[in-house]
Amino acid sequence: MSANSSRSNDPLHGMTLEAILCHLEQQYGFDGLADKIKVNCFTNDPNIKSCLKFFRKTPWAREKLERLYIKSIGEKMPAHLKTVASRKTPPVMPKANKANATGNGDNSAIWGSPKK
């Protein structure tokens, strides 16, 4: 078995989150990243340290960042990220029943009548 065949085919293998983020920031800038991934850490006073903190705590956002990195380097998407990309969006909450709503802007149908 050669050394090349034992190496992982995953383009993320050996890449740190910081290296991925730095690569994308150099390629797109924080404004470009904010257009591609809608998260506040790219729009409100962006810096590498705050973005790292956010992406380490937020798996869904990290997966989006990893997918963007793989697309940016032109590599084949690993299987574990393909399944994430094919997930359906969560169901939309149904609108409130108009028979129960008062229509005057208060939430009394939900929370009860306001105390006077």
Give pLDDT, residue 98: 52
> Could you tell me which residue, 97 or 5, shows the higher pLDDT?
97
pLDDT tens string 8-31: 688 888 899 999 999 999 999 999
pLDDT tens string 57-78: 999 999 999 999 999 988 777 7
Maximum CA extent, the chain: 80
Alpha-carbon dihedral of residues 87, 88, 90, 96, nearest 10 degrees? 180
Nearest CA-CA partner of 27 in 82, 72, 79, 81:
72
* Separation between Cα atoms, residue 67 and residue 56, nearest integer Å: 15
